[in-house]
């Protein structure tokens, strides 16, 4: 199992370095800087023909969606895809378990972010009884083998577990219930998960005991402070995948075309009403 201490920056005396405290303005500046680096990473992946998978797992309200949005904000969606699969269909339930995920693996030059992944079987499917005990045990045995197979084929796999405290999850649940803009995030399964709180904790610990292996370790990110978590995760991700700035060819902007042409008046078009004007 990976050591958190080994990943933490150290001071000259060997002690763990304290985190930098940032203001809101400094957070925005650092986020922009890291997002620019992510763009360089994406360009390097594309140029070198790498294949990268990043898996995001964690309890409900842990901040997976917001984290993924911050990562993909400046990236090219042609080369960076987000995969968030719905419940399997009846046909998919008869397939080899990993089959529907294989269809979404990256090709050369692509990065795929899984908003939940094949680890559904170790979590919600196991806890809620959507798979048999035999299917669960088979998954736990074969998942490390499946990931080793992907790694041997040249795919880079990074796995993040977003961890939220009990108290903060309660606060976020209440916020979703009371805010119409967030209520859609609460699925019936999320509500049922509260009745299986300890079961999910036990399932996560079991999952780690089988799948936190040297070739594809789990990296745990504390997400009670979402902004801190975003900077910490992005910075860590950039440190895991070697990349370098891609040289760009000089772009010559051609002169704008000029010739006689009279455009139709705007009052012939259906215009969107000007309800707002921002200074």
Kindly report the CATH number assigned to the domain that includes residue 212.
3.40.50.300
Rg of the Cα atoms in the chain = 23
Question: Can you say whether residue 14 is alpha, beta or left, with left for phi > 0 and alpha for psi between -120 and 50 degrees?
Answer: left
* Residue 22, in any domain of the structure: no
Arithmetic mean of pLDDT, 114-134:
96
Structure tokens at 86: 């719905």
Number of neighbours of residue 134 by Cβ within 10 angstroms: 8
Q: How many domains does the chain have?
A: 1
Q: Is 35:139 a contact under the CB 8 Å cutoff?
A: no
pLDDT in tens, 236-260: 999 999 998 888 788 899 999 999 9
Q: What integer pLDDT is reported at residue 2 of this predicted model?
A: 39
DSSP state of 25: H
Residue 62 CA to residue 53 CA, distance in Å, equals 20
Q: 119, 55 in Cβ contact below 8 A? A: yes
For 177-235, what is each residue's pLDDT tens digit?
Answer: 777 777 777 777 777 777 888 999 999 999 999 999 999 999 999 999 999 999 999 99
Position 278 in a domain: no
| pLDDT value at 143 more than 60 | yes
Residue 193 pLDDT: 74
Can you give the residue range of the structural domain that contains 90? 31-243
Q: What is the pTM of this model?
A: 0.87
Residues 95-99: contacts with CB within 8 Å, 24+ apart? 97/121, 97/135, 97/138, 97/139, 98/146
Cα distance between residue 220 and residue 94, in whole Å: 33
CA distances from 111 to 11, 46, 77, 89, 167 (A): 34, 9, 10, 26, 34
265 located within any domain: no
In a domain, 120, yes or no: yes
Alpha-carbon distance of 144 to 147, in angstroms, equals 5
């Amino acid at each position: 199992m990976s050591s958190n201490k080994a990943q933490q920056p150290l001071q000259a005396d060997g002690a763990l370095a304290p985190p930098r405290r940032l203001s809101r303005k400094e957070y925005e500046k650092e986020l922009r800087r890291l997002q620019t680096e992510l763009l360089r990473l994406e360009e390097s992946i594309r140029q070198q023909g790498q294949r990268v998978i990043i898996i995001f797992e964690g309890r409900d309200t842990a901040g997976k969606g917001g984290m993924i949005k911050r990562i993909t904000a400046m990236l090219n969606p042609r080369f960076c895809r987000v995969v968030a699969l719905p419940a399997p269909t009846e046909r998919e339930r008869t397939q080899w378990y990993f089959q529907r995920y294989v269809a979404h693996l990256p090709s050369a030059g692509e990065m795929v972010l899984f908003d939940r992944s094949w680890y559904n079987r170790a979590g919600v499917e196991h806890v809620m009884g959507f798979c048999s005990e035999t299917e669960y045990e088979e998954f736990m045995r074969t998942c490390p083998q499946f990931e080793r197979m992907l790694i041997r084929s040249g795919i880079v796999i990074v796995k993040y577990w977003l961890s939220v405290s009990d108290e903060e999850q309660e606060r976020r649940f209440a916020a979703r219930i009371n805010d119409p803009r967030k209520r859609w995030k609460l699925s019936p399964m999320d509500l049922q998960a509260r009745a299986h709180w300890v079961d999910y904790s036990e399932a996560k610990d079991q999952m780690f005991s089988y799948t936190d292996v040297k070739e594809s370790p789990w990296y745990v990110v504390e997400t009670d402070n979402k902004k801190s978590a975003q900077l910490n995760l992005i910075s860590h991700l950039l440190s895991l995948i070697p990349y370098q700035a891609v040289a760009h060819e000089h772009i010559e902007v051609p002169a704008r075309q000029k010739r006689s042409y009279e455009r139709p008046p705007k009052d012939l078009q259906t215009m969107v009403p000007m309800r707002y004007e921002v200074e």
